[in-house]
A = this chain, B = another copy of it.
Amino acid sequence: MTDTTNISGPGPRAARGGSAARRALRKSGPKASAVRAGMPGGTYRPLSEQDMKRIHHTALDVLEKLGVGEPIPEILEVALPRGCWVNSQGRLCFPRALVEDILAGACRSYTAYGVSPEHDLEIGGDRVNFATAGEAIKVLDFHSGEYRPSTLLDLYDFARLADRLEHVHCFGQTIVATDMPDRLTSDFNVAYACLAGTQKSFGVSIENVEHHARLISFFDAFLGGEGKFVERPFCVIGGCPIVSPLRFGKENAEVMVANARLGLCIDPAIAAQAGATAPAALAGTLVQTVAETLVTLIVGNLITPGLPVSFGIWPFVSDLRTGAFTGGGGEEALLTAAAVQMCRFYDLPSSVGAGMTDAKAIDAQAGYEKGVTVTLAAVAGGNYVSECCGMMASLIGCSVEAMVIDNDMLGNIQRVLKGIDVSDETLSFDEIARAIAGPGHYLGSPKTLELMETEYIYPHIADRDSMNGWQSRGSPDIRQAARVRAQEILSAHYPAYIDPATDAKLRERFPILLKAEDMKAGNGRW
């Protein structure tokens, strides 16, 4: 397009006048946020009703006729009295009537508590929330620009950063602290790093059920009293209790049982991988992951009827040329959206993964793979769209620059979710009549000024400059702006979310390895 065609009505003078008025208004500060957590999705539906019914019925067949291998005693104990049986291959089979009963009585919506109530999220319905996640083992180092093993300090930094990114609603564990001496120490420290860095809801995946009670006692110590955590559990504990295809993983299954017994939310990530640990046909992968995810719903409800269970259906995709996980392709985008649609079919709270680019560099590929996958998971109506901020390299790495960039992208997607408000006023007949009879444009109109902060959102770092402006700034890539913003936040935002007295108590009772000097400004790291 030529420079002159984009505003065909008014001349430059009119445009300048309107612009001055808008700048003045804008200076008075934002009045209302155009978007918030829980914007509605559900407007994208790749599967037909008939497709969903067939997937559902086949999944029930799988659970009844093929069952799930290696059931643990704690699950057999609650399942067998309800009509389940162990078949000749030692697999636990679930009668379809039981599954249907549980589906009918399952929890439809629950509150995911923030550490502070302002970050509480309602999980269910068509409400879309964005969460980090990923448990990467590497970090794209801010200073060297190279991938290196991720550390506890990285996790603290990611938590502080996510705390300040308004479109990240929940802080799933972005990375593994690979510098911990053992897993129990890691579990305490991961929890500590999250609490120190953010007041948003977060998640910690633990090694085994032995650590479950100990982690809860850590949270109780933070809250200053035994039993306090389960009253307002701000952390989701656990990993994936299913090893695909269709068998229990002992340690995580035990953790799932422990959660259910305490009434704590189960939020698994059932990540069967099409072409490797799930059928290559995408419909078959849906069948298997629906069946596997139903198992967590069943177990949770057998132990505690009505338990909050997030239907954590995370179908993954292989590049069939190599068998490797590939998170950025069209197959993944489609499969994830279809998985969300299955959750909506069941009217269950959902969790899916999206934004899992295969790019290692923060480049156009990273951008479009995240854009396509997160958009579709969101417009499908995923309640927790996880992995969607900061992840790189097929979930092997995480990056602060990527996180800052992705936050702007999530803002765009939330604006999409907000949808188009159609009313007598917004249909704008009178406004159109005024423009035609008057100035021939809408730039300085009171209505335009009024809608500036409610109908439109503005990115923090995305380039909307003129060509000349961009060139005069040295023709930067968005990564440069992301570095500036990340550094601004990370050099300044050292929140005091753990008060000194509590901190001293926690450090006394638990092997906390995050050093106090790394947790305040001027430490030379940023």
Contact = CB atoms under 8 A, between A and B. Distances in A.
A148 to B, nearest CB: 11
User: Which 10 residue pairs are nearest across A and B when measured between Cβ atoms?
Assistant: A367-B367, A371-B371, A284-B428, A330-B415, A330-B412, A368-B371, A364-B367, A279-B428, A283-B426, A6-B325
Contacts of A32: none
A55 interface: yes
Interface in A232-250: 240, 243-246, 249
Contact of A372 (B5, B409, B470): B409
A275 interface: yes
A365 B462 contact: yes
Given A51-B422, A287-B428, A455-B280, A246 B436 contact: yes
A216 interface: no
A197 interface: no
Given A321-B452, A330-B412, A364-B477, 12 more contacts: A8-B243, A18-B323, A58-B428, A277-B441, A281-B427, A284-B428, A284-B432, A319-B456, A320-B456, A331-B457, A333-B375, A363-B479
A478 interface: yes
A466 interface: yes
Contacts of A156: none
A334 B415 contact: yes
Nearest to A440: B245
A126 B264 CA distance: 45
Interface stretch (A298-306, A353-361, A517-525): A353-361
A427 B59 CA distance: 9
Interface string A305-338: 0000000000011011111111011110111011
Nearest to A15: B323
Contact of A447 (B279, B366, B406): B279
Contact of A244 (B9, B320, B418): B9
Given A325-B7, A415-B331, A466-B324, A421 B363 contact: no
Interface string A262-281: 00000000010101111111
13 contacts: A1-B395, A5-B271, A15-B323, A43-B44, A276-B441, A358-B463, A363-B364, A364-B477, A365-B462, A366-B367, A372-B416, A379-B379, A397-B467
Contacts of A422: 47-48, 50-51, 54-55, 283
The residue among A18, A62, A146, A420 with the most chain B CB atoms within 10 A of its own CB is A420
A60 B38 CA distance: 35
A119 interface: no
A105 interface: no
A219 to B, nearest CB: 25
Contacts of A137: 1-3
A97 interface: no
The residue among A422, A441, A475 with the most chain B CB atoms within 10 A of its own CB is A422
Interface size class of A (residues with CB under 8 A): 35 or more
Interface string A282-294: 1111111000000
A117 interface: no
Contacts of A108: none
A458 B321 contact: yes
Contact of A324 (B360, B421, B440, B464): B464
Interface stretch (A19-27, A73-81, A188-196, A496-504): A19-27
Contacts of A54: 422, 427
A112 interface: no
A379 to B, nearest CB: 6
Given A415-B330, A431-B284, A322 B19 contact: yes
Contacts of A286: 420
B379 A66 contact: no
B245 A6 contact: no
Contact of A467 (B22, B376, B396, B426): B396
A431 to B, nearest CB: 5
Given A6-B325, A245-B432, A360 B278 contact: no
A320 B448 contact: yes
A58 B420 contact: no
A426 B282 contact: yes
